[in-house]
Amino acid sequence: MNDQQQPRDIEGILDRAHLTSNRTAADRLAADMAALLTQYERETVARRALAGDPNPSDADPLDYVRTIADNYTRHRDLPDAESMYLELAAELTLDDARVIRLAAEAVAKATPRLIYLAAEEDGKTAAAIADELGVTESYVYRVLREQRAAESQPDGTKPWDAFWTIERWEDGRWHEFAAQSSRRMDTPATLAEYLLNREQEYAAEGARLRVRVWQFGTSETHPPLAEATTAQ
C-alpha cells in the first residue's frame, strides 16, 4: 500500500515545486516590470523638467490643500481637532501658510463669479452648487441675485436703456425741468457729463444744473447710476 502511494506523493511534491517555481518567476517578472516602469516614469519626468515643463509629473497642485481641507472637514467638530491643528502647524512653514492664506482670500473673492458661471453657463441648480461648494442654498441664491444685477449694469460695452433727468437749483432746492429716455452705448458717467455740458451751453449764466442717470425703469427704486452737477 505504501509502495503504491509513493509515486503519488512524489508527483505531488514535484507539482508543488513546479507551481512554486512558476510563482517565483512570475513575481520576479512583475518586480522587473515595476522597476522598468518606475525608471521610465522618472526619466520622463526628468526630460519634461529639462524641457521647461512646470508640472513634469502631472501632479495635482491642489492635492495637499485638499488633504488639509478634508482633514479639517472630518475633525473640526471632534475632540481631536486641536491635535490636527498642532500636526498641521508642525508640517507647514510660515511661507506655506502665507501662500495658502493669500490663495484662500483670492478664492473667496472669485467665488461669487464662480457661482454665477456655474449657474449661467454650466446650468447647475442652486442646490447642486451649494452642495459642491459646501455652502447654504440661501447663500447661493443671494450671490446669484447680486451677480445678475451687476451683470445687467451698463458698462459701455453693450446697449442699454437709459433714463435721465435734468434739474435746476432754484429757491434752495432742485427742480426737474427735463426728463428723457434713450438707448445708449456709452457709460452712465459719460452720458451724465455729456448732458450737463450740452445743457450748460443754453443755460443762463450762473445757473446751477444737475443731471442724474438711471437704467430705465429703476429711477423710483434705485439711486442714480451717475450724477453730474455744475460747479458752484
Q: Would residue 29 be called left, alpha or beta, if left means φ above 0 and alpha means ψ between -120 and 50 degrees?
A: alpha
- Residues counted in the chain: 232
Secondary structure (3-state) at 195:
helix
- 8 Å CB contact between 126 and 136: no
The DSSP 8-state label assigned to residue 59 in this structure reads -
pLDDT digits (tens, 9 = 90+) for 89-138: 999 899 989 999 999 999 999 999 999 999 988 999 999 999 999 999 99
- Cα separation, 86 vs 95, in Å, equals 17
Q: Would residue 217 be called left, alpha or beta, if left means φ above 0 and alpha means ψ between -120 and 50 degrees?
A: left
- Whether residue 66 lies inside any domain: the answer is no
- Whether residue 87 lies inside any domain: the answer is no
- Cα separation, 82 vs 72, in Å, equals 10
Which residue segment(s) compose the domain that 17 sits in? 13-59
C-alpha cell recorded at residue 48: 519634461
pLDDT of residue 1: 47
Same domain, 146 and 164: no
- Whether residue 98 lies inside any domain: the answer is yes
pLDDT tens for the chain, 232 residues: list them: 444 444 455 555 445 555 555 557 767 777 777 777 777 777 777 777 788 777 766 667 788 888 888 888 888 888 888 888 998 899 989 998 999 999 999 999 999 999 999 998 899 999 999 999 999 999 999 999 888 877 777 877 788 899 999 999 999 999 999 999 999 999 999 999 999 999 988 888 888 999 999 999 888 888 999 999 997 6
- Whether residue 116 lies inside any domain: the answer is yes
Residue 122 CB neighbours (<10 A) = 9
Same domain, 167 and 136: no
Secondary structure (3-state) at 216:
coil
Beta-bridged to residue 166, according to DSSP, are 178, 211
- 8 Å CB contact between 216 and 163: yes
Same domain, 145 and 164: no
- Cα separation, 58 vs 163, in Å, equals 54
What is the pTM (predicted TM-score) of this model?
A: 0.49
- Cα separation, 23 vs 29, in Å, equals 10
- Whether residue 72 lies inside any domain: the answer is no
- Cα separation, 20 vs 43, in Å, equals 34
pLDDT of residue 18: 53
As for how many domains the chain has, the answer is: 3
pLDDT of residue 23: 58
Amino acid at 137: E
- Cα separation, 129 vs 91, in Å, equals 32
pLDDT of residue 106: 93
- Whether residue 180 lies inside any domain: the answer is yes
